[in-house]
């Protein structure tokens, strides 16, 4: 059997690390880091190393199933297209919906055909993991800049960088969020060796916090108050100087100053639980640095007031003059679409772009053209949504109320699932399509500016196919075109990728030539202002100012513990890269050892966690890195599902459609024996 190795990009998360895939024939035997990769420098996390296991795992899906029985692709597609055609004829475009999530990341041909299919049938029923993940970040961006497209990024290699503040974010483990960090520990260390300061705001002493020059252990859910106080102090001293005056209006500065006025250090210390001298330490460090970068993550975004916290992050960067300048945050102008070359667009109104949303949930809006995930069950129960395609994700683990979600999915005329491995969701599918995995398709990754093209490493095994074949097959049967005029029997993945690259910054062939090492757009600054509303950051949107007083008087929790979410390197949401019984931090319900004593539970004992929305059972792990009074659970896991403690109805932000998924009051009860 011949041995070979292929340079590629890891598609297991958005960090896009360079990999070398070693093969014996078609068998993937080893994956190692590509030391010549310009960003990841040979780094691989556990998921990257485990790609061979994932690729050959015994529960890979290999053949289509129709109502649980083996079928051909044609039979499955014929039947599904029949359901769709009838639903569209009898109930209109909104009777057919699509949900996609992070498993589609990098699948350029799949995403192109998915988008065209949705447009061709004219459905508004598009759901993605955005509204159970980062919708607050995008809405805050839109409120401040007038567009959700202008994404600020921290660049650790920026020679002018002096201070980065991570809020509710543990990139040493998660590899970042809106700022994605391949090779995070070495890159943060180099930033510090050049004199850069790292500060972390997080209830838990995370791996990133252990590296920090300063760590403020806030009470979970109170980070927005800390940000409001920083804004107050730095705005009062005009810390951003000319840059602040040039890029914000005097009226906005006055309104913001009045709104954050009550957040003095005593009040902020009371709310956050952080002693005033520690708060002052962070403020002094920011003053010394001048310009700063602020990076947030799920600890802020998933919490109550996540949107307010995100807006305050923008306000903090604006008042320190840190946006679109060296030493602060860089805005990636893009390679797939050169944003800075476009004509300025009409900015969204100060209250955000709010289009009518699901009929069953009139209090919710469409969120950037998508239905909020919390409304999917309502739309099915109301009889509006009848046929659903799910690709690369699982509503059962990503949405609140998994039991209600499962019951709703069970009422559909057809639930078509395309995925790589078996799961509780694939077991429910009426039409199950086995998907090509990350090594069996060509991927385009784009992260923090760099765009890479990772060629297919091995041919799809068994009867697996890429996602674009699903949409092409359905479109052909429904008389639609998702292939840009190509015939289905001659179209190739490369054809579709070249179509996707239409409008790119340079000749698409440049990306094919650059391959896995990719292309970095110019690191230019100062181009964003041309796109801002009246050339300024909108630092005082009325809807956000109106929410500030509520931060001053946080509700007294009616239960003794707070749920906080965590990530581990061996999983990415519902995708496990180790057999679940080998996960290092399983069991997944972690509490401080002193809380274990107070509860009368020890390592490995069973407990039930209860919130206002429901209960979850699991096994305890004692973790001294946690503060007292919190319980930490994996997010998006197939094992112990946080969704059982969250609600599709209460605590949903109407501006983002996002449910509260962390900092939830919970109680813990010891169970006798195995639950």
Where along the sequence are the contacts to ligand SF4 (CB under 6 A)?
10, 12-13, 15-17, 44-45, 47-48, 175, 182
Query: Which residues are CB-contacts of 579 (< 8 A; sequence separation ≥ 6)?
Result: none
Backbone phi, psi, residue 128, to 5°: -140, 170
Shortest separation between residue 445's beta carbon and ligand SF4, angstroms? 8
Outline where 126-181 has alpha helix (H): 135-145, 171-174
CA 324-326-332 angle, to 5 degrees, is 50
3-state secondary structure of 51: helix
- For residue 576, the minimal CB distance to ligand SF4 (Å) is 12
Return the CA Rg of the chain: 24
Give whichever of 17 and 429 is closer to ligand SF4, judged by the CB atom: 17
Query: What is the token pair recorded at 231?
Result: 């804004």
CB of 20 to ligand SF4, least distance (A): 12
Residue 150 backbone dihedrals phi, psi, to 5 degrees = -95, 95
Least distance CB 22 / ligand SF4 (angstroms): 15
- Between 5 and 543, name the residue whose CB sits nearer to ligand SF4: 5
Minimal distance, residue 506 CB to ligand SF4, in Å: 24
Contact 577, 570 (CB under 8 A): yes
Q: How far is the CB of 643 from ligand SF4 (least distance, A)?
A: 23
Identity of the residue, 171 or 587, whose beta carbon is nearer to ligand SF4 in the bound complex: 171
CB of 42 to ligand SF4, least distance (A): 11
- Nearer to ligand SF4 by Cβ, of 45 and 391: the residue is 45
CA distance 388 to 100: 11
Structure tokens belonging to residue 395: 């509503």
Residue nearest to ligand SF4 (CB): 48
Identify whether the C-beta of residue 562 lies closer than 8 Å to the C-beta of residue 556: no
Q: Can you tell me which residue has the tokens 């850069």? A: 196
Nearest-approach distance from CB 60 to ligand SF4, in angstroms: 18
Q: Which neighbouring-strand residues pair with 331?
A: 152
Task: Give the three-state DSSP class for 98.
Answer: strand
| Whole-number Cα distances in Å, 455 to 7, 40, 106, 352, 458 | 8, 18, 11, 39, 9
Of 182 and 224, which CB lies nearer to ligand SF4 in the complex structure? 182
Cβ atoms of 43 and 13 closer than 8 Å: no
Could you write out the DSSP letters of every residue in 492-541? -HHHHHHHHTTT-SS-HHHHHHHGGG-B------S-SGGGSGGGS-----
Instruction: Tell me if 223 sits within 8 A of 301, measured CB to CB.
Output: no
Sequence-distant (≥ 6) Cβ neighbours of residue 360 within 8 angstroms: 375, 378, 379, 381, 382, 384
Instruction: For the CB of residue 182, give the shortest distance to ligand SF4 in the complex, in Å.
Output: 5
* Least distance in angstroms from the C-beta of 197 to ligand SF4: 24
Q: How far is the CB of 575 from ligand SF4 (least distance, A)?
A: 10
Distances from the Cα of 317 to the Cα of 184, 286, 554, angstroms: 22, 11, 25
Residue number, 45 or 532, with CB nearest to ligand SF4: 45
In whole angstroms, how close is the CB of 577 to ligand SF4 at the nearest point?
Answer: 8
DSSP string, 297-322: -HHHHTSTTHHHHHHHHHHHHHHTT-
User: CB of 23 within 8 A of CB of 32?
Assistant: no
Gap between the Cα atoms of 498 and 612, Å rounded: 50
CB of 19 to ligand SF4, least distance (A): 7
Q: Closest approach of Cβ 420 to ligand SF4, in Å?
A: 15
d(CA 15, CA 9) in angstroms, rounded, equals 9
- Shortest separation between residue 10's beta carbon and ligand SF4, angstroms: 3
Of residues 45 and 444, the one with the C-beta less far from ligand SF4: 45
- Decide whether 45 or 457 has the Cβ nearer to ligand SF4: 45
Give the residue with the Cβ less far from ligand SF4, 10 or 491.
10
Q: Which is nearer to ligand SF4, 187 or 232 (CB)?
A: 187
**Assign residue 273 a region: left if phi > 0, alpha if psi is -120 to 50, beta otherwise?**
left
Pick 17 or 663: Cβ nearer ligand SF4: 17
Three-class DSSP labels, 208-259: HHHHCCEEECCCCCCHHHHHHHHHHHHHHCCCCHHHHHHHCCHHHHHHHHHH
Output 45 or 132, the one with its CB closest to ligand SF4.
45
């Amino acid at each position: 059997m011949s041995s070979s190795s292929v340079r590629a990009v890891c598609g297991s998360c958005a960090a896009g690390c360079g990999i070398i895939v070693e093969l014996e024939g078609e068998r993937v035997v080893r994956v190692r880091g590509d030391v010549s990769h310009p960003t990841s420098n040979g780094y691989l996390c556990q998921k990257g190393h485990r790609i061979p296991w994932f690729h050959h795992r015994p529960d890979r899906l290999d053949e289509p199933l129709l109502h649980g029985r083996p079928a051909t692709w044609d039979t499955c597609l014929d039947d599904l297209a029949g359901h769709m055609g009838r639903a569209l004829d009898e109930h209109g475009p909104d009777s057919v919906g699509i949900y996609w999530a992070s498993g589609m990341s990098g699948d350029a041909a799949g995403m192109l055909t998915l988008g065209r299919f949705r447009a061709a049938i004219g459905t508004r029923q598009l759901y993605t993991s955005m509204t159970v993940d980062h919708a607050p970040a995008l809405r805050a961006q839109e409120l401040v800049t007038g567009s959700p497209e202008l994404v600020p990024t921290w660049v650790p290699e920026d020679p002018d960088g002096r201070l980065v503040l991570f809020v509710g974010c543990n990139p040493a483990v998660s590899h970042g969020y809106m700022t994605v960090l391949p090779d995070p520990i070495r890159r943060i260390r180099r930033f510090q060796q050049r004199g850069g300061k790292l500060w972390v705001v997080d209830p838990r002493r995370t791996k990133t916090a252990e590296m920090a020059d300063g760590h403020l252990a806030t009470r979970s859910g109170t980070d927005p108050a800390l940000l409001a106080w920083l804004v107050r102090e730095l705005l009062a001293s005009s810390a951003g100087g000319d840059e602040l005056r040039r890029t914000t209006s005097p009226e906005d500065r006055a309104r913001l100053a009045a709104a954050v006025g009550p957040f003095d250090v005593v009040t902020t210390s009371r709310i956050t639980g952080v002693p005033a001298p520690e708060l002052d330490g962070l403020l002094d460090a920011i003053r010394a640095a001048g310009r700063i970068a602020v990076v947030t993550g799920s600890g802020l975004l998933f919490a109550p007031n996540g949107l307010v916290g995100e807006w305050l992050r923008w306000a903090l960067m604006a008042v320190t003059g840190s946006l679109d300048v060296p030493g602060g945050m860089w805005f990636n102008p893009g390679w797939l679409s050169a944003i800075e070359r476009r004509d300025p667009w009409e900015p969204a109104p100060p209250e955000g772009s709010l289009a009518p949303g699901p009929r069953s949930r009139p209090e919710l809006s469409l969120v950037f053209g998508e239905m909020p995930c919390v409304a999917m069950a309502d739309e099915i129960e109301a009889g509006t949504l009848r046929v659903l395609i799910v690709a690369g994700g699982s509503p059962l683990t990503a949405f609140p109320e998994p039991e209600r979600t499962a019951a709703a999915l069970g009422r559909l005329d057809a639930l078509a699932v395309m995925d790589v491995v078996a799961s509780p969701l694939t077991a429910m599918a009426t039409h199950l399509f086995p998907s090509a995995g990350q090594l069996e398709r060509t991927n385009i990754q784009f992260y923090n500016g760099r765009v890479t093209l990772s060629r297919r490493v091995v041919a799809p095994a068994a009867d697996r196919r890429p996602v674009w074949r699903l949409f092409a097959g359905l479109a052909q049967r429904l008389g639609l075109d998702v292939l840009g005029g190509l015939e289905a029997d001659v179209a190739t993945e490369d054809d579709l990728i070249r179509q996707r690259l239409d409008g790119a910054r340079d000749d698409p062939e440049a990306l094919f030539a650059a391959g896995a090492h990719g292309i970095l757009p110019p690191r230019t600054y100062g181009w964003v202002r041309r796109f801002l509303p009246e050339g300024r950051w909108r630092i005082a949107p009325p809807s956000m100012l109106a929410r500030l007083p509520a931060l001053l008087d946080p509700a007294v929790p009616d239960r003794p513990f707070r749920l906080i979410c965590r990530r581990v390197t061996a999983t990415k949401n519902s995708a496990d890269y180790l057999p679940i019984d080998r996960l290092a931090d399983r069991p997944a319900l972690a509490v401080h050892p002193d809380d274990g004593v107070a509860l009368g539970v020890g390592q490995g004992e069973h407990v039930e966690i209860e919130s206002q929305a429901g209960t979850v059972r699991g096994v305890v792990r004692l973790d001294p890195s946690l503060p007292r009074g919190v319980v930490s659970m994996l997010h998006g896991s197939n094992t112990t599902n946080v969704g059982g403690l969250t609600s599709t109805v209460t605590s949903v932000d109407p501006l983002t459609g996002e449910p509260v998924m962390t900092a939830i009051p919970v109680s813990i009860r010891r169970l006798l024996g195995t639950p």
